[in-house]
Amino acid sequence: MIRTMRDEFQLAGQTFRSRLLVGTGKYRDFDETRRAIEASGAEIVTVAVRRVNVTDRSKENLLDYIDPKKYTILPNTAGCYTAEDAIRTCRLAREAGVGSLVKLEVIGDEKTLFPDVPATIAAAEVLVREGFQVLPYINDDPIAAKRLEELGCAAVMPLAAPIGSGLGIRNPYNIRIILEQAKIPVIVDAGVGAASDAAVAMELGCAAVLMNTAIAGAKDPILMAEAMRQAVEAGRKSFLAGRIPMKLYATASSPLAGVIG
């Protein structure tokens, strides 16, 4: 019999079952977005805040497909290069009525999309003061993670690798240091490519994984969404189960006594 564990994920005072957070960008259409999210089992989905197209208003709306009553909507500040723009975007997002949880990203460079850490910290300070539940996207930088935790962020979200790169966790050692010191959830955000990358993040002890391109950019996004769901679950169970230590030499699995001959 399979043992069912009650392993809930607490974030910003809310309880979730799924430890996979997914984005809604880069899908072929809203229907594919909806199906992929369903297959992923995610309960938290990220969205971007953009100007309404006032000249072409025929377009359908993302939230017609992703029901905010069913999913926790996590607006991001993607595309913001200053603390001021990120703060402005968060205020608008909250005004649009999806709560106060925000994914804060202040980008420092177009080519790498690495975060501008001082600007991220400055924005987080203001947003926390204004009552936002801030989830900052950062480098795999333990010092930045600590600062952001101290100033009241709800979680920290170190990148595995550059956004959309699919390189997987490039510095598991830094993620381990972040995990060791953090008392808030650590969510690996960005850079995941394959299901095994998500499993590695969970095996390290991360609370959750956030991804978009790895699913949306796959040849079959629905199948990949399912693979990611299973990888996150498997990685989490593997972490909780406690792996064996790595050793250089063999240890026989079969008894040494009673061998014939």
Which residue of 44, 49, 106, 159 would you call a contact of other proteins, by CB under 8 A? 49
Q: Output the CA–CA distances (angstroms, integers) from residue 23 to 36, 147, 206, in the order listed.
A: 10, 26, 18
Residues 105 and 79: beta-carbon distance below 8 Å: no
Instruction: Give yes or no for residue 120 binding other proteins (CB under 8 A).
Output: no
3-state secondary structure of 38: helix
Which residue of 14, 16, 18, 48 would you call a contact of other proteins, by CB under 8 A? 48
Instruction: Give yes or no for residue 72 binding other proteins (CB under 8 A).
Output: no
Q: Does the annotation mark 103 as catalytic? A: yes
Nearer to other proteins, 147 or 215 (CB): 215
Instruction: Give yes or no for residue 35 binding other proteins (CB under 8 A).
Output: no
Which residue of 2, 6, 69, 97 would you call a contact of other proteins, by CB under 8 A? 97
Residues 192 and 139: beta-carbon distance below 8 Å: no
Residues 94 and 132: beta-carbon distance below 8 Å: yes
Nearer to other proteins, 54 or 257 (CB): 54
The active-site residue out of 59, 70, 103, 219 is 103
3-state secondary structure of 241: helix
Instruction: Give yes or no for residue 96 binding other proteins (CB under 8 A).
Output: yes
Phi, psi dihedrals of residue 211, rounded to the nearest 5°: -150, 160
Nearer to other proteins, 184 or 216 (CB): 216
The rounded radius of gyration (Å) of the Cα atoms in the chain is 20
Q: How far is Cα 7 from Cα 129, in angstroms, rounded to an integer?
A: 31
- List binders of other proteins among 158-187 (CB under 8 A): 163-164
Which residue of 14, 18, 38, 63 would you call a contact of other proteins, by CB under 8 A? 63
Q: How far is Cα 74 from Cα 96, in angstroms, rounded to an integer?
A: 12
Residue 16 burial (C-beta neighbours within 10 Å; 0-12, 13-18, 19+): middle
Nearer to other proteins, 133 or 147 (CB): 133
Nearer to other proteins, 72 or 142 (CB): 72
Span from 126-134, 140-148, 204-212, 239-247 in contact with other proteins (CB under 8 A): 204-212
Q: What is the DSSP letter of 76?
A: B
Buried/exposed code over 148-165 (b: 16+ C-beta within 10 A; e: otherwise): bbeeebbbbbbbbbbbbb
Q: How far is the CB of 54 from other proteins (least distance, A)?
A: 5
Instruction: Give yes or no for residue 52 binding other proteins (CB under 8 A).
Output: yes
Candidates 28, 20, 10; CA nearest to 221 is 28
Give the residue numbers marked as catalytic: 103
Residues within the interface to other proteins (CB under 8 A) = 23-27, 30, 33, 46-55, 57, 61-63, 68, 73, 75-76, 78, 88, 91-98, 163-164, 190, 210-213
